[in-house]
Amino acid sequence: MQRQYIRQRERVFTEEMKVKFCRLVRESYSLAEAAQGVGVTLRTVQRYRREEEDFDQEVRMAKLAKPDPLKLMESAARTHWRAAAWLLERTKPETYARKRGDLASGLKVTKALRLMMETALANTPEEARSELFKHLDKTYEHALDCCFPSLGPWDRPREPKMADTPLVFRERAKSAPVIHNYGLGTPDEWSFAAKPEQPRSHAPRGNAESDAPRREPNADVTPPPTPTLAPGSSNRGQSTPPPLTEAERAQRHQDLLDWGLRLMQNEQRQKDRDKYDHLMSRKTKKATQATRQQNRQQNRRRAA
């Protein structure tokens, strides 16, 4: 009488099944999962390993193969909740990953760019909106590609460089936030002419009456105009500098805007350098700590 096995599993472990079993083990599947994949029980695999030395050696070599971390985590996620949580955070970061307060998701960045496009289109005449939208849409796609780069060769993320924005810098500099931040005043108040030094008084400190010039009471005395001298010049032959023409004023205004733009760019470069130095110092510190730990372990082994 032929015995009926559960689920009609085959008790004969063929060569094709052995090759498939070793391949699954080499791909970081456990012995039980590989046995289930080929359609046999784990006890059948163990029995064939005891009976056949060559098959047992092939299984040992398959277990020594380089493991696949993703397959290991997928296998562990079935029984360990920490592995399942790690897998969800890495595979679906937009939904399950821990979010920082100073970071924005792709959906928020998309909404912010669309809000800027909506503002630009709302302040544009109806007949020019279609043409403007074509340019804005191209810039919108380019900005998203730069913020969220796709994978390039060897599954490495590409980091395209964003285009420069000179018009934005110039319009922002015209509103004089950079100038006021550095205490230089507005472009109309700014001048290359230096003020002459006031005559130093030798009167005792706090005696304001002795510092002030003496004049008769009820006498309207108009003080002479104070000459304004340029740096490195003298007052020989003229008392006041020549007035600036409209072209010279515009040129000096443009020079000031360019200077403010260069100052902002230099500050950004300095921030990037500081961030890079901070990261390198952290890596050096970790490497030093690892070296010290290895030295301690070697000393303990020698002492033992």
Q: What is the pLDDT of residues 250-293, one digit of tens each?
A: 888 788 888 888 888 888 888 888 888 877 887 788 888 888 88
By residue range, what is the domain housing residue 260?
A: 164-189+246-304
136 within 8 A of 117, measured Cβ to Cβ? yes
Closest Cα partner for 160 from 173, 147, 171? 147
pLDDT of residue 202: 55
Q: Strand, coil or helix: what is 194? A: strand
Banded pLDDT at 180 (limits 50, 70, 90):
very low
Residue 207 placed within a domain: no
Query: pLDDT by residue (tens digit) across 92-128?
Result: 877 787 777 777 777 888 888 899 889 999 999 988 8
Q: How many domains does the chain have?
A: 3
Looking at the fold, whether 13 and 81 belong to one and the same domain comes out as yes
Residue 232 placed within a domain: no
Residue 198 placed within a domain: no
Tell me what the mean pLDDT of segment 2-18 comes to.
66
Residue 294 placed within a domain: yes
Last residue of a domain, one of 94, 122, 140: 94
Closest Cα partner for 165 from 122, 95, 116, 130? 116
Banded pLDDT at 184 (limits 50, 70, 90):
very low
Is residue 136's pLDDT more than 80?
yes
Looking at the fold, whether 22 and 124 belong to one and the same domain comes out as no
pLDDT of residue 79: 86
Cite the beta strand spans of 55-115 per DSSP E: none
Q: Which tops the pLDDT comparison, 170 or 199?
A: 170
pLDDT of residue 236: 53
Query: pLDDT by residue (tens digit) across 45-84?
Result: 999 899 888 889 889 888 888 777 787 788 888 888 888 8
Closest Cα partner for 36 from 80, 75, 79? 75
